[in-house]
Amino acid sequence: MSQPRRPRAAGFGTGLVALLTALVLLAATNGAGAEDAEARPRPGNWTGWQFDQSGSRFNGQEYRITPATVGDLGLKWAFGHAKVPGVYLGSQPAVVDGTLYVGGAEGTFHALDARTGAARWTFDVAPVAGAHSTADPDPVRSSPAVEGHTVYFGDNRGYLYALDRRSGALRWSLKLDNHPLAQITSSPLVYNGQVYVGVSSKESGATFDLSYPCCTFRGSVVAVNAATGQLSWRHWTSPEPQPAGTWPNGANRYEPSGVAVWSSPVVDRETGTVYVGTGQNYSGAGGDTDSVLALNAATGAVRWRAQEVFPDTFTVACGIAGADAYCPGKADGTDHDWDFGASANVFSIGDRRVVGIGQKNGVYHVYDALTGAKVWDRAVVADPNTKGGSSGIQWGTGYDGNRLYVATWFASPGTLYALDPATGAILWQAESPADGCRWGGAAASPELCQRAFTPAVSVSRGLVYEGGADGKMRVFSASTGAVLWQYDVVRDFTTVNGVPAHGTGLSGGGGAVVADGMLYVQAAYYPQYPSASGGALLAFSLR
């Protein structure tokens, strides 16, 4: 279902509007704080999670999809993902030179024709990482990055891969952490011959079994030589966990642990500084918890760190009734889960270079990029305690040179904000529509549907793209926040690969991709509306 089309000026058809818009955009610059020409992707490409190395998630050279034409978007094709219980697939596609690259639910990685969805090749991680099993599913949650003739991505078992992007042949692979529960949710950043990526873990979820000896994982940020796959440097975000007695049931206890790096790094090319956010402790208290790190891209040395919350010790055991003894933070209220799952934005305020990032407590922070001094904060959530931090800014934000765009998840309701990048002032806000759970496929499951914005925000000129837990993909006006187009994904799809698909929650871990006149979204995340089929990758084009 789409919104009614916006009225157009008399005598101007869609084709002519698009042509005139193209001429204006091609003559324009990319806006204040935009990447230089060398770092800027080609107009038809979206090469990595951040779109550009500064993390803008803004395709300023998209000229076909505009506020005047967005109402003409329609489904072009759908690609079906296998049904794998417990897997919430959030791999955001990359689109380069007419080929789309995306991770799959069964430890597969696909290259598809971006226009038709036809398969070009598929890579299976099992021969490298080990056979798949239903007990330990191996989705590729990491979103790919494409540089030159190579595509890079991580998997659920902690491996980083480099494939020939034309043939899918393996160039190299590297296991980034030997911990049995390590995984890669961070999406790679390629810069100056290195691949930068964070290492995260499934160990927080392992504590659902209270006999688990919590916890021995510690997070890190790594740089890997892009050509050879050799580790260049690693920054550990936590000290090595040490024995610390036992839990009440006698299971061994270790601390401090955790501080996973879920998010994707960004870089300031002017100073060669990599910025990334970190997670909470799993046990004990120590390390770079809930911090923003500024690392020397060449060496990994810390240039500055900004720790926003300490202590913060949280695992899923904190949500189990009667298990307070396995969640020590409950006693003093430090079981926040207020980590940085979002990726950062590097931009300028006048002549001052800054880095901004959203946190799961619902605060967007801006720091001086050189010193780490706080420039401003903006809290956009009144009650950050809701659902252990999931009310806040979950995955990522957008910047188009004029405004910052920030969305909140389970914030009663989730809300999309446009902020003044110089001050943090709220320029407009748009709540998840009140009727979103009353129509479309989600209406059949009111107990699952919530007014929440899940994905990272994406932006093109005049438009903001954001999906919801109500199963609606929406495009908003960048100037007013009005909904210009929406589509219900909670339905069955006939797919180009013949795999039955039923859309569900949108794009968590990534967001919409806008490239070469098309819009791509993953409808395979939380909540998983009832279906025997897996989720879908959807491609939209102008009719």
Give dist(CA 251, CA 256) in Å, integer.
16
Q: State the sign of the Cα–Cα–Cα–Cα dihedral 168, 171, 177, 178.
A: positive
- Could you tell me the pLDDT band of residue 88, with boundaries at 50, 70 and 90? confident
Q: Report the chain's C-alpha Rg in angstroms.
A: 22
Which pLDDT score is estimated for 477? 98
Tokens of 34: 């935009």
Which pLDDT score is estimated for 87? 85
Reply yes or no on whether the pLDDT at 474 is more than 80. yes
Which pLDDT score is estimated for 35? 43
- Could you tell me the pLDDT band of residue 86, with boundaries at 50, 70 and 90? confident
Three-state SS at 132 = coil
- Could you tell me the pLDDT band of residue 131, with boundaries at 50, 70 and 90? low
Q: Which residue has the higher pLDDT, 106 or 158?
A: 158
Strand pairing partners for 73? 542
Q: Which residue type is seen at 193?
A: G
Contact 189, 274 (CB under 8 A): yes
Q: Which residue has the higher pLDDT, 137 or 435?
A: 435
- Could you tell me the pLDDT band of residue 106, with boundaries at 50, 70 and 90? confident
Reply yes or no on whether the pLDDT at 528 is more than 80. yes
Which pLDDT score is estimated for 391? 86
Reply yes or no on whether the pLDDT at 371 is more than 80. yes
Go through 453-482 and write b for each residue having 16 or more CB atoms within 10 A of its CB, e for each that does not: bbbbbbbbbbbbbbbbbbbbbbbbbbeebe
Which pLDDT score is estimated for 543? 85
Strand pairing partners for 406? 417
Reply yes or no on whether the pLDDT at 139 is more than 60. yes
Q: Which of 534, 427, 440 is nearest to 486 (CA)?
A: 440
Q: Which of 529, 475, 397, 520 is nearest to 144 (CA)?
A: 520
Which pLDDT score is estimated for 412? 86
Distances (CA, A) of 169 to 67, 333, 479, 511: 40, 50, 44, 27
Average pLDDT over residues 181-202: 97
Give dist(CA 98, CA 111) in Å, integer.
10
- Could you tell me the pLDDT band of residue 38, with boundaries at 50, 70 and 90? very low
Q: For the chain, how far is it from start to end, CA to CA, in angstroms?
A: 14
Contact 495, 479 (CB under 8 A): no
Q: What is the pLDDT of residues 442-470, one digit of tens each?
A: 999 999 999 999 899 999 999 999 999 99
Give me the chain's average pLDDT, please. Answer: 91
Three-state SS at 20 = helix
Reply yes or no on whether the pLDDT at 387 is more than 50. yes
Distances (CA, A) of 335 to 211, 218, 314, 384: 20, 18, 5, 12
pTM: 0.92
Q: β-strands 458-460, 58-59: how paired?
A: parallel
DSSP letters spanning 474-499: EEEETTT--EEEEEE--SEE--TT--
Three-state SS at 229 = coil
Q: What is the pLDDT of residues 234-268, one digit of tens each?
A: 999 999 999 999 999 999 999 999 999 999 999 99
Which pLDDT score is estimated for 133? 63
Reply yes or no on whether the pLDDT at 26 is more than 50. no
Average pLDDT over residues 374-382: 94
